[in-house]
Amino acid sequence: FELYYQPQLDLSSGKVIGVEALIRWNRPGHGVVAPGHFIGAAEDSGLIRPLGRWVLREACRQAAQWRTAGWTGLKVAVNLSAVQFRHQSIRWDVFDALEESQLPAECLELELTESLLLADDGGVSSTLSSWKEAGIQLAIDDFGTGYSSLSYLKRLAIDKLKIDRSFVSNLLEDEQDRYIVRAILQMAHSLKISTVAEGIEHPQIGEQLAQLGCNSGQGYLYAKPLPAAEFMAWLREQKFTPLTGQP
């Protein structure tokens, strides 16, 4: 297994503010396999816990290494599945990854699904609260595609909403998509929640999102997911200077 990293850019300044860590499987004889082809099997077999722990540890280790190299402003986002939360150790898996890597909690962002928050029986809220208290950022992945009362946005003090690519890809042609994206952005702005749009592939879409008030974005317009070394090479080619702001 290997982690690839896709940059997230501030849509106003064009600066890279973070990366999303995405797992890939280098399967012998088949090449690089995307997670959609094996995560389901990992969840069904119970292997998702050790796999998820490895992803957390590797993402935090890499982010800490980048900080040491001077890129102190980069946050790393890691996806957590609802199945991972069935293991009570998930809370400590996250803290262990931070302690082992010595990465500041403020540099880690955890992406959650709406279905996970809907199924909350109190245990999820307790775990998320402990992460928030430590300074870890919480994001809702693929926002707008699940079922939710939205009450969790207030109850859990969510930091970021990720607007699903299904609303972004046809933003210029589909009026309904524009209405949906505008509504999400207005709500997030009112609640003081940051936003990131996924799947940006055309400059005009990035420009429109910025005009609508979207804070940041990611997609093939900027870069595809890249192995760590290739990501750093891409970053240097863009002539970005090391981010030295907080955290």
* Per-residue pLDDT, 135: 94
pTM: 0.87
Structural tokens at position 8: 């997230």
Highest mean pLDDT pick, 34-43, 80-89, 103-112, 167-176 = 103-112
Nearest one of 60, 91, 96 to 78, comparing CA atoms: 60
Q: How many helices (H) and strands (E) does the chain have?
A: 10, 10
Beta carbons of 172 and 207 less than 8 angstroms apart? no
Q: Give tens-digit pLDDT for 181-239.
A: 999 999 999 989 999 999 999 999 999 999 999 999 999 999 999 999 999 888 888 75
Q: Give tens-digit pLDDT for 64-93.
A: 999 998 888 889 999 988 788 777 788 999
Cα–Cα distance measured from residue 118 to residue 146, given in angstroms and rounded to the nearest whole number: 9
The CB-side HSE value for 139 (13 A sphere, CA atoms) comes to 24
Residues, the chain, total? 247
Q: What is the mean pLDDT of residues 112-126?
A: 75
Beta carbons of 181 and 171 less than 8 angstroms apart? yes
Q: Which residues contact 126 (CB under 8 A, 6 or more apart)?
A: none
Is the pLDDT at 163 greater than 60? The verdict is yes
Average pLDDT, the chain: 85
Q: Which residues contact 55 (CB under 8 A, 6 or more apart)?
A: 3, 21, 23, 78
Structural tokens at position 25: 């499987």
Q: What is the mean pLDDT of residues 166-172?
A: 91
Maximum distance among all Cα pairs of the chain, rounded to whole angstroms: 51
- How would residue 37 be classed by pLDDT, with cut points 50, 70 and 90? low
Is the pLDDT at 246 greater than 70? The verdict is no
User: When comparing pLDDT for 246 and 115, which is higher?
Assistant: 115
- How would residue 33 be classed by pLDDT, with cut points 50, 70 and 90? low
| Rounded (10°) angle between helices 90-101 and 123-134 | 20
Beta carbons of 140 and 118 less than 8 angstroms apart? no
User: When comparing pLDDT for 233 and 118, which is higher?
Assistant: 233
* Per-residue pLDDT, 243: 39
User: When comparing pLDDT for 172 and 33, which is higher?
Assistant: 172
Q: Give tens-digit pLDDT for 123-160.
A: 788 888 999 999 999 999 878 766 656 777 777 788 99
* Per-residue pLDDT, 204: 92
Cα–Cα distance measured from residue 63 to residue 58, given in angstroms and rounded to the nearest whole number: 9
